[in-house]
Structure 1
Amino acid sequence: MTRHIRHAALFCLLLLAALLVNAARVQVVRAPEYDANPANRRPDIARYQQPRGDILVGGRPVTGSRDTGEHLRFERTYRDGPMWAPVTGFASQEYGTTLLEHAEDGLLSGADPVLAPLPLWNDVTGARSPGGDVVTTLHAGAQRAAYEGLGRRTGAVAAIEPATGRVLALVSTPSYDPGELSGNGAAALRAWRRLNDDPARPMLNRAVRRTYPPGSTFKVVTAAAALDSGVVTDLDAPTRSPDPYPLPGTRTRLTNEVPGCADASLREAFERSCNTVFAKLGTEVGVPALAATAERLGFNDDGLRIPFPVARSTFDTSVDRAQLGLSAIGQYNTRATPLQMAMVAAAVAGGGQLRTPYLVERTTRASGSVVATAGSRPARQVMRPSTALRLKELMTGVVESGTGANAAIRGATVGGKTGTAQHGVGNSGTPYAWFVSWARGERDLEPKVAVAAVVEGTAADHGEVTGGGLAAPVARAVMEAVLRG
Structure 2
Amino acid sequence: MHSTMRGALRVSGALVALAAVTSGCSQDTHTDNAGKSSAGPTSLSKRGLGDILVGGKAVTGSKPTDLTKIPYQRTYTDGPLYASVTGYRSMAFGNAGLEAVYDDVLHAGASGAATGDVATTIEPAVQKAAFDALGDQQGAAVALDAKSGKLLAVVSTPSYDPALFSGRGSKDVQAWKSATTDSRSPMLDRAVRRADAPGATFSIVVAAAALDGGLYSTVDEATASPLTYVLPLSTTRVTGASPQCVNASIRVALRHSCANVFTKMAADLGQARLRSVAQKFGFDDDKLKVPLSVAESSYPGAGASAAEAALSGIGAGEVRATPLEMARVAAAVVNGGRLVHPQLVDHVTKAGVTQPPEAAGGPSAEQAISRGTAEALRAALGGGGQTGWVTRTGSDSAVSWFIGHAETSDGRRIAVAVRVEGLPSNEGADGDGGGAAASKVAEKILASVS
TM-score, normalising length: structure 1: 0.78
Match of 2:181 in 1: 197
Task: Kindly indicate whether residue 345 of structure 2 is the aligned counterpart of residue 392 of structure 1.
Answer: no
Match of 1:54 in 2: 51
Distance in 2, matches of 1:391 and 1:230, equals 14
Tell me if structure 2 keeps the 8 A contact 1:279–1:329.
yes
How far residue 261 of structure 1 moved from its aligned partner, in angstroms, is 1.3
Tell me if structure 2 keeps the 8 A contact 1:362–1:374.
no
Does the residue aligned with 1:77 lie in a helix, a strand or coil?
strand
Does the residue aligned with 1:476 lie in a helix, a strand or coil?
helix
Distance in 2, matches of 1:443 and 1:190, equals 48
Task: Kindly indicate whether residue 253 of structure 2 is the aligned counterpart of residue 269 of structure 1.
Answer: yes
Task: Kindly indicate whether residue 338 of structure 2 is the aligned counterpart of residue 349 of structure 1.
Answer: no
Distance in 2, matches of 1:184 and 1:110, equals 17
Tell me if structure 2 keeps the 8 A contact 1:331–1:423.
no
1:30-45 to structure 2, matched below 5 A, reads none
1:403-422 to structure 2, matched below 5 A, reads 404=385, 417-422=386-391
Tell me if structure 1 keeps the 8 A contact 2:400–2:420.
yes
Task: Kindly indicate whether residue 196 of structure 2 is the aligned counterpart of residue 212 of structure 1.
Answer: yes
Distance in 2, matches of 1:234 and 1:91, equals 53
Give the partner amino acid of 2:165: L
Match of 1:475 in 2: 442
Match of 1:379 among 343, 359, 365: 365
Distance in 2, matches of 1:287 and 1:150, equals 35
Tell me if structure 2 keeps the 8 A contact 1:421–1:431.
yes
Distance in 1, matches of 2:277 and 2:108, equals 43
Task: Kindly indicate whether residue 295 of structure 2 is the aligned counterpart of residue 330 of structure 1.
Answer: no
How far residue 236 of structure 1 moved from its aligned partner, in angstroms, is 1.9
1:101-180 to structure 2, matched below 5 A, reads 101-110=99-108, 129-180=113-164
Match of 1:430 in 2: 397
Higher relative contact order (CA 8 A, sep 6+): 2
Match of 1:182 in 2: 166
Q: Which moved more, 1:456-465 or 1:225-234?
A: 456-465
Tell me if structure 1 keeps the 8 A contact 2:48–2:112.
no
Give the partner amino acid of 1:322: A
Give the partner amino acid of 1:92: S
| Count of matched residue pairs | 399
Does the residue aligned with 1:324 lie in a helix, a strand or coil?
helix
Q: Which moved more, 1:87-96 or 1:450-459?
A: 450-459
Distance in 1, matches of 2:155 and 2:170, equals 29
Match of 1:440 among 393, 404, 407: 407
* Percent pairwise identity: 41
Distance in 2, matches of 1:332 and 1:278, equals 13
Match of 2:19 in 1: none
Tell me if structure 2 keeps the 8 A contact 1:133–1:366.
no
How far residue 255 of structure 1 moved from its aligned partner, in angstroms, is 1.8
How far residue 241 of structure 1 moved from its aligned partner, in angstroms, is 0.6
The two structures, once aligned, show a CA RMSD in angstroms of: 2.1
Give the partner amino acid of 1:350: N
Distance in 2, matches of 1:330 and 1:252, equals 16
Query: Are the structure 2 counterparts of residues 460 and 127 from structure 1 closer, same or farther at C-alpha, using a change threshold of 3 Å?
Result: closer
Residues 287-335 of structure 1, C-alpha deviation per residue, up to 9 Å, x if partnerless? 1110011001111110001112100011002223211110111000001
Query: Are the structure 2 counterparts of residues 360 and 442 from structure 1 closer, same or farther at C-alpha, using a change threshold of 3 Å?
Result: closer
How far residue 480 of structure 1 moved from its aligned partner, in angstroms, is 2.2
How far residue 349 of structure 1 moved from its aligned partner, in angstroms, is 1.3
How far residue 240 of structure 1 moved from its aligned partner, in angstroms, is 1.8
Query: Are the structure 2 counterparts of residues 127 and 454 from structure 1 closer, same or farther at C-alpha, using a change threshold of 3 Å?
Result: closer
Match of 2:82 in 1: 84
Query: Are the structure 2 counterparts of residues 257 and 248 from structure 1 closer, same or farther at C-alpha, using a change threshold of 3 Å?
Result: same
Uncovered stretches (5+) of structure 1, i.e. residues with no partner: 1-48, 112-125, 405-416
TM-score, normalising length: structure 2: 0.84
Match of 1:453 in 2: 418
Tell me if structure 2 keeps the 8 A contact 1:228–1:387.
yes
Residues 410-439 of structure 1, C-alpha deviation per residue, up to 9 Å, x if partnerless? xxxxxxx433223315xx453111110011
Distance in 1, matches of 2:357 and 2:422, equals 40
Q: Which moved more, 1:102-111 or 1:374-383?
A: 374-383
How far residue 256 of structure 1 moved from its aligned partner, in angstroms, is 3.1
How far residue 442 of structure 1 moved from its aligned partner, in angstroms, is 4.0
Distance in 1, matches of 2:251 and 2:356, equals 46
Tell me if structure 2 keeps the 8 A contact 1:361–1:375.
no
Uncovered stretches (5+) of structure 2, i.e. residues with no partner: 1-45
Distance in 2, matches of 1:213 and 1:373, equals 31
Match of 2:346 in 1: 361
Which has more helix, going by share of residues? 1
Match of 1:241 in 2: 225
Query: Are the structure 2 counterparts of residues 373 and 433 from structure 1 closer, same or farther at C-alpha, using a change threshold of 3 Å?
Result: closer
How far residue 474 of structure 1 moved from its aligned partner, in angstroms, is 1.4
